Amino acid sequence: MGMRGHGGPRRMMGTKEKRSRPIRVLLGRMVHYLGRFRRIVAIGAILSILATVVSVFEPLVLTAGIDSIDPNVTATPMFDSLITLIALYVVLKITSWLLFSGNTWILVGAQAGFVQNIQEDVYGHLVSADLSYHKAEQSGNVTSRVTSDTVSLGTGIQYIIGFASQALMLASTFLILFFTSELLALTSLIVIPGVAVIAVLFGTVGQRIMLASQRASGAVSGQIAENLSGIHVAKAFNREGELAAEMMDLNQKSYRLGFRFMILMSAMQPLVRSIGQFAIAAMLFVGGSLAVGTLPALTIAEVFLGIMLISRFMWPLLSLAMMSSQVQASLSAMDRLSDVLDSKRAIVDSPNALPILEESDGISFENLTFEYVKDTPVLKKVNFTIESGEMVAVVGHTGAGKTTLAALINRFYDPQEGKVLIGDQDLRDITLKSLHGTVSLIPQEPYLFDDTIMENIRYGRPDATDEDIADLCRIIGANEFIEVLADGYDTRIIEGGKNLSAGQRQMITIARTMLADPRILILDEATSRLDAYSESLVQDAQAKLFSDRTTVVIAHRLTTIANASRILVFDHGEIVEEGTHEELLALNGTFKALYDTYYAHQGFEELTEETARAAEEEAAKAGVELDSAAVQEATGMGMGTMGQMGGHGGGHGSPSPEMMQKMMEQMTPEMREEMVKHLDSLPPEMRERIKKMREEVGSTSGGSD
**Which region among 121-125, 155-159, 366-370, 630-634 has the lowest average model confidence (pLDDT)?**
630-634
Closest CA to 382 of 416, 356, 422: 416
Confidence label for 139 from pLDDT (cuts 50, 70 and 90): low
Encode pLDDT of 162-195 as tens digits: 777 788 888 888 888 888 888 888 888 888 888 8
Encode pLDDT of 495-523 as tens digits: 777 788 877 888 888 889 888 888 898 88
Question: Within 13 Å and on the Cβ side, how many CA atoms surround 525?
Answer: 15
Residues 6+ apart with CB under 8 A from 551: 390, 391, 392, 520, 521, 522, 523, 542
Encode pLDDT of 154-164 as tens digits: 777 777 777 77
State how far the Cα of 427 lies from the Cα of 434, in Å rounded to an integer: 11
Average pLDDT, the chain: 75
The pLDDT score that the predictor gives to residue 653 is 41
Surface-to-core class of residue 312, CB atoms within 10 Å of its CB (0-12 exposed, 13-18 middle, 19+ buried) = buried
Residues 6+ apart with CB under 8 A from 527: 506, 510, 534, 535, 538, 539, 555, 557, 560
State how far the Cα of 520 lies from the Cα of 196, in Å rounded to an integer: 68
State how far the Cα of 290 lies from the Cα of 298, in Å rounded to an integer: 6
- 569 vs 700, residue with greater confidence: 569
- Give Cα 249 to chain centroid, integer Å: 27
Encode pLDDT of 382-422 as tens digits: 999 999 888 899 988 888 888 889 889 988 888 999 999 99
b/e 555-586 (16+ beta carbons within 10 angstroms → b): bbbbbbbbbbebbbbbbebebebeeebeebbe
Q: 16 pLDDT exceeds 60? A: no
Question: Within 13 Å and on the Cβ side, how many CA atoms surround 175?
Answer: 9
Mean pLDDT of 255-267: 79
State how far the Cα of 648 lies from the Cα of 628, in Å rounded to an integer: 23
- 367 vs 72, residue with greater confidence: 367
Closest CA to 335 of 637, 127, 24: 24
State how far the Cα of 683 lies from the Cα of 555, in Å rounded to an integer: 15
Percent of the chain scoring above 70 in pLDDT: 71
The pLDDT score that the predictor gives to residue 604 is 42
The pLDDT score that the predictor gives to residue 661 is 53
State how far the Cα of 394 lies from the Cα of 23, in Å rounded to an integer: 53
Encode pLDDT of 373-391 as tens digits: 888 889 999 999 999 888 8
The pLDDT score that the predictor gives to residue 457 is 92
Q: Which of 25-34, 280-289, 464-473 has the highest mean pLDDT?
A: 464-473
Surface-to-core class of residue 587, CB atoms within 10 Å of its CB (0-12 exposed, 13-18 middle, 19+ buried) = middle
Residue 384 CB coordination number (10 Å):
16
The pLDDT score that the predictor gives to residue 316 is 81
The pLDDT score that the predictor gives to residue 605 is 42
b/e 533-554 (16+ beta carbons within 10 angstroms → b): bbbbbbbebbeeebeebbbbbb
Element (H, E) at 522: strand 520-524
Percent of the chain scoring above 90 in pLDDT: 9
CA distances from 9 to 51, 267, 416 (A): 45, 28, 36
- 634 vs 39, residue with greater confidence: 39
State how far the Cα of 441 lies from the Cα of 142, in Å rounded to an integer: 25
Q: 526 pLDDT exceeds 50? A: yes
Beta bridge partners of 520: 439, 550
Furthest CA-CA distance within the chain: 143
- Give Cα 316 to chain centroid, integer Å: 41
Q: Which of 546-550, 585-589, 598-602, 661-665 has the highest mean pLDDT?
A: 585-589
Closest CA to 672 of 636, 698, 638: 698
The pLDDT score that the predictor gives to residue 559 is 64
Strand stretches in 292-438, DSSP E: 363-373, 376-386, 391-396, 417-422, 425-426
The pLDDT score that the predictor gives to residue 1 is 40
CA distances from 520 to 362, 432, 660 (A): 8, 15, 39
Q: 701 pLDDT exceeds 80? A: no
DSSP state for residue 494 in the 8-state scheme: -
Encode pLDDT of 319-362 as tens digits: 777 676 677 777 777 887 887 787 777 788 888 888 988 888 88
State how far the Cα of 12 lies from the Cα of 393, in Å rounded to an integer: 45
Q: Domains plus CATH for the chain? A: 21-341 (1.20.1560.10), 363-449+516-599 (3.40.50.300), 604-700 (no CATH)
Encode pLDDT of 67-115 as tens digits: 777 666 665 666 777 788 888 889 988 998 898 888 888 878 877 887 8
The pLDDT score that the predictor gives to residue 495 is 73
- 226 vs 58, residue with greater confidence: 58
State how far the Cα of 636 lies from the Cα of 468, in Å rounded to an integer: 31
**Which region among 461-475, 492-506, 597-611 has the lowest average model confidence (pLDDT)?**
597-611
